[in-house]
Amino acid sequence: MNEALLRSLTPSVLGILVRRGADFAAAEDAVQEALVEAVRVWPADPSPSSSSGGSPVRDPKGWLVTVAWRKFLDAARADSARRRREKLIDEEHAPGPSPTVDDTLQLYFLCAHPSLTPSSAVALTLRAVGGLTTRQIARAYLVPEATMAQRISRAKRTVSGVRFDQPGDVATVLRVLYLVFNEGYSGEVDLAAEAIRLTRQLAAAIDHPEVSGLLALMLLHHARRATRTTPDGSLVPLAEQDRGRWDTDSIAEGVEILQAALARDRLGEFQAQAAIAALHADAPTAEETDWVQIVEWYDELVRLTDSPVVRLNRAVAVGEADGPRAGLAALAAVDDSLPRHAAVAAYLHERDGDLATAARLYAEAAHAAPNLAERDHLTRQAARLNARLNARPGS
């Protein structure tokens, strides 16, 4: 059974059921049941040219549509209270070639509807567009399956009344996909790779430079994945990563996609972020990084977003381009309650030679770290500087 094929067909099958009159929640349940049936009965390779033992499926999408629609009708017959569905029972569609209309884009918009919380939008996108099971999503987010099932069910009820052909917001969809990407890898699902797959799918459905910008950003970041941690899970800062192990194919693809997007002269925040990532990827060594140009891109990001997180990252770049004092001056304009503010301050004070202040700030940052790996890294930085201070004569 080709799992990748099943997941790629999920959005279009779901869209067909909705256009036939099924509400979104019921249609999504029916499609999930059809996917389970496909896993049970399809041969290892469902294509007509398959040489596997089972019978080939000549039209996998049409098969899924037929089975999903029957599952929906079965549920409708069992629910006499829903009079609207009762009218659909006799509307059995004969098996045959499935419609060619592609509803993938509308599903992205629906699953990232503004009425949903970010966590609900992520879960619904992974289920309805990504074709993941509730169990897979729950394991990826380290929550009980029942909790994730409730989250998805609430999300489906929330959007069940939204018109399927209602225009959506691309920016909201991109933020949801970026949330998925930043979850990385946990459980049995590689969420970073899944986010890249879904963003590629979105890029095929809509011609938008920011979609390309996000895809480029994901590819450029993902290219460094193998070097971000040691075998024991310890974080490796960008400057210390083994650049010889970066995925050059992903970098080349990301840069090519980014250049095409930038050429359209419709700059957005994901294109600017990707440009910064590309400059890091282009540097043969950390010392050869073009920090001056990176600061210029951060200036564009500040103009586009006015985000305090962007200003925080810009302070680091200024410190590299113009010296730590300049970086500290830029940091002074950033709210010190911002997460990771203390870590940035510690780094810049260390660059400026103030080891005592840097050690104290690294310890503060470790205490406020959002995860164990980051906390351990910052704790090691504080211990390293304290060891240097204690080794000084007269200390």
H-helix or E-strand spanning residue 190: strand 189-190
- Tell me the CA distances in angstroms from 30 to 24, 39, 69, 175, 190, one per residue in order: 10, 14, 7, 28, 25
Assess whether pLDDT exceeds 60 at residue 60.
Answer: yes
Q: How far is CA 241 from the centre of its chain?
A: 23
Which residue type is seen at 39? V
Whether the CB-CB separation of 267 and 274 falls below 8 Å is answered with no
Which residue has tokens 């080794």? 391
Q: What percent of the chain lies above the pLDDT cut of 70?
A: 87
* C-beta of residue 269 within 8 angstroms of C-beta of residue 305: yes
Question: Residue 54 pLDDT more than 70?
Answer: no
Q: Is there a contact between 282 and 227 (Cβ–Cβ < 8 Å)?
A: no
Longest Cα–Cα distance in the chain: 91
Are 251 and 223 a contacting pair, CB within 8 Å?
yes
* Non-local CB neighbours of 14 within 8 Å, separated by 6+ positions: 27, 28, 31, 68, 103, 107, 128
**DSSP assigned state of 127:** I
Tell me the pLDDT tens digit for each residue of 75-110: 877 665 445 544 554 455 555 554 544 567 788 888
Per-residue buried b or exposed e for 124-156, using 16+ beta carbons within 10 Å of the residue's own CB: bbbbbbbbbbbebbbbbbeeeeeebbebbeebb
Q: Over the stretch 234-243, which tens digit does the pLDDT of each residue have?
A: 999 999 999 9
Q: Name the band, by pLDDT with cuts 50, 70 and 90, for residue 53.
A: very low
Check: CB of residue 202 under 8 Å from CB of residue 211.
Answer: yes
341-384: pLDDT as tens digits = 999 999 999 999 999 999 999 999 999 998 899 999 999 999 99
Mean pLDDT confidence for 19-41: 86
Helical ranges in 89-186 per DSSP H: 104-111, 118-124, 134-140, 145-159, 170-182
CB of 52 closer than 8 Å to CB of 43: yes
Give 190's strand partners: 185
pLDDT of residue 303 exceeding 80, the answer is yes
Residue 1 has pLDDT above 70, yes or no: no
